[in-house]
Amino acid sequence: MKATLVTDGVYRLSANVDNILFEGMWPVPAGVAINSYIVKGEKCALIDGVCGWDGVPETLLAQFGEMGLSVDDIDYVILNHLEPDHSGWLDAFKEIRRGFAIVTSERAKPLLEAFYGISDNIRLVKSGDTLDLGNGRVLAFEEIPNVHWPETMATYDTRSKTLFPCDAFGSFGSVADDAPYDDTLQEGQIRFFEREMERYFANIVTTFSVATQKAIEKTKALDVRIIAPGHGIVWRRDPGRVIDTYTRLAGYAKGPARAEVAVLWGSMYGMTALGVQPVVEAVESQGVRTRVHRIPETSISYVLDSVLQCSGVVLGMPTYENKMFPPMAAVLDEIGRKKIANRRAFRFGSYGWSGGAQKELAEIDERLRMKWDYLEPVEFKGRPTGDDIALLRQRGVELARSVRRWALGTES
Ligand SMILES: Cc1cc2nc3c(=O)[nH]c(=O)nc-3n(C[C@H](O)[C@H](O)[C@H](O)COP(=O)(O)O)c2cc1C
Ligand SMILES: [Fe+2]
Ligand SMILES: [Fe+2]
């Protein structure tokens, strides 16, 4: 990767990481960029770090070199967020550079000690505090707790009006050296990052949607001309576009989301599977798009993305040992933990003798306070009959109509 100029006195340094599971669990087939920034006044500040997944900051040091900088030129290290994807380079950095000051939030202090054994030379800042780098370059800080850890803050360069919000406004997806800015990308490429942003949001940020909404309000109160996040591309031409996308996604957690239906289904011997197509056809007959995922074949990362974006969810799964088909229970548990609430939903499935999937579904919804609004379920013994299929079609139509009314705001 190469260091690039964001705007006068502000540089972007970055590393693309692939062949990993992000947070140890989310696939990133198109990789993910981890961004760091340098802001130069008379003094020089490094905002968040960048390193390989192994914590070695070779990428960072090479990019210093390209800019004609050495580690000794760094006066301040600003840590917006202590998660190791942004701070993992500190161990190696403190070995080669002494005498720099760390600028971070109060709540970051115990984390700095716990992760890196650092307790000296820390300047704690809170919302409204500033740091004067000289030459008319003043940085301001804004706490944005829980986007994504409690200590998270954003840094704002008052001169170029660039916001450095770390995880907020980020996305998955590797970024090309020669096109790290929205104004250097074609519309199709920006759309790619927006799709990766949706999945990133669903996987990383959804649980913190309320905190994110507060952070967005703080962002809107500032005169922001450039958004330079810790992951993904920098928004220079149209920062409003990424603010709108995040506003939309944060709203989806409580619903309504899009007028679409996610269909999640799992089946051992194909009995429940016989019901999937009729339901999908019925939903789509109402002009409502579906996103169909087989469980457990589909990674939960993509399932979360679909469920976050859809106002309606169909769940098809059989009974297994008096409970629900276990991989579906695991998926629902994760959806509930991500606090994706208030969906219009419908469940169907096959059983052999006693059933039990339905009871567990109710338990999960209750335990995780999901408040999903379910239509009457359709359960069939073994293979579905013609009547069962007809009933499934009826429910599909009913769900699609309900989803449309809710998502389009035409409910009385
Ligand atoms: C391992 C296993 C455990 C099952 N446990 C139950 C059960 O506890 N109660 C029940 O009513 N049916 C149970 N069944 C029967 C299935 O629910 C039934 O075969 C159903 O048709 C499976 O649907 P599928 O082909 O979509 O997986 C079990 C089946 C299997 C294979
Ligand atoms: Fe994070
Ligand atoms: Fe991150």
- Atom 12 in ligand 1: residue holding the nearest Cα: 352
For the Cβ of 348 lying below 6 angstroms from any atom of ligand 1, the answer is no
Which of ligand 1's atoms lies nearest the C-alpha of 269?
A: 25
Is there an atom of ligand 1 within 6 Å of 117 CB? no
Q: Give residue 286's pLDDT.
A: 98
| Domain boundaries of the chain, sorted by first residue | 4-252, 260-400
d(CA 118, CA 110): 9
CATH assignment, 4-252: 3.60.15.10
Q: pLDDT tens for residues 157-207? A: 999 999 999 999 999 999 998 899 999 999 999 999 999 999 999 999 999
357 Cα: distance to centroid of ligand 1 (angstroms): 10
**What local confidence, expressed as pLDDT, does residue 385 receive?**
98
Residue 67 pLDDT: 86
260-272: burial string, b at 16+ Cβ within 10 Å, e else:
bbbbbbbbeeebb
Q: What is the pTM of this model?
A: 0.96
Give the nearest ligand 1 atom to 321 CA. 8
Give distance in angstroms: CA of 127 to centre of ligand 1.
56
Residue to mutate (ligand 1; options 269, 279, 295; most atoms within 8 A of CB)? 269
CB 400 within 8 A of CB 375: no
Q: Which residues contact 80 (CB under 8 A, 6 or more apart)?
A: 47, 48, 86, 104, 152, 153, 154, 155, 164, 165, 166, 230
Top mutation candidate among 265, 268, 324 for ligand 1, by most atoms within 8 Å of CB: 268
Give distance in angstroms: CA of 170 to centre of ligand 3: 8
Name the CATH superfamily for 260-400: Flavodoxin domain (3.40.50.360)
CA of 282 to the centre of ligand 3 (A): 40
Give the residue among 96, 91, 105 at the shortest CA–CA distance from 73.
Answer: 96
Q: What is the largest CA-CA distance in the chain?
A: 78
What is the three-state SS of the chain? CCCEEEECCEEEEEEEECCCEECCCEECCCCEEEEEEEEECCCEEEECCCCCCCCCCHHHHHHHHHCCCCHHHCCEEECCCCCHHHHCCHHHHHHHCCCCEEEEEHHHHHHHHHHHCCCCCEEEECCCCEEEEECCEEEEEEECCCCCCCCCEEEEECCCCEEECCCCCCCCECCCCCCCEHHHCCHHHHHHHHHHHHHHHHHHHHHHHHHHHHHHHHHHHCCCCEECCCCCCEECCCHHHHHHHHHHHHHHCCCCCEEEEEEEECCCCCCHHHHHHHHHHHHHCCCCEEEEEECCCCCHHHHHHHHHHEEEEEEECCEECCEECHHHHHHHHHHHHCCCCCCEEEEEEEECCCCCHHHHHHHHHHHCCCCCEECCCEEEECCCCHHHHHHHHHHHHHHHHHHHHHHCCCCC
Look at the chain and count its residues. 412
Ligand 1 within 6 A of CB of 187: no
Going by C-alpha positions, the residue among 91, 92, 22, 84 that lies closest to residue 232 is: 22
Which stretches of the chain score pLDDT less than 70?
Answer: 53-56
Q: Which residues of 87-124 are buried (b: 16+ CB within 10 A; e: fewer)?
A: bbbbbbbbeeeeebbbbbbebbbebbeebbebeeebee
Q: What pLDDT score does 55 carry? A: 66
Query: What pLDDT is recorded for position 64?
Result: 84
Q: Give the model confidence (pLDDT) of 313-347 as tens digits.
A: 999 999 999 999 999 999 999 999 999 999 999 99
Pocket mutation for ligand 1, best pick of 351, 383, 385 (most atoms within 8 Å of C-beta): 351
Ligand 1 atom with minimal separation from the 381 CA: 21
Instruction: Please tell me the distance between residue 271's alpha carbon and the centre of ligand 2 in angstroms.
Output: 42
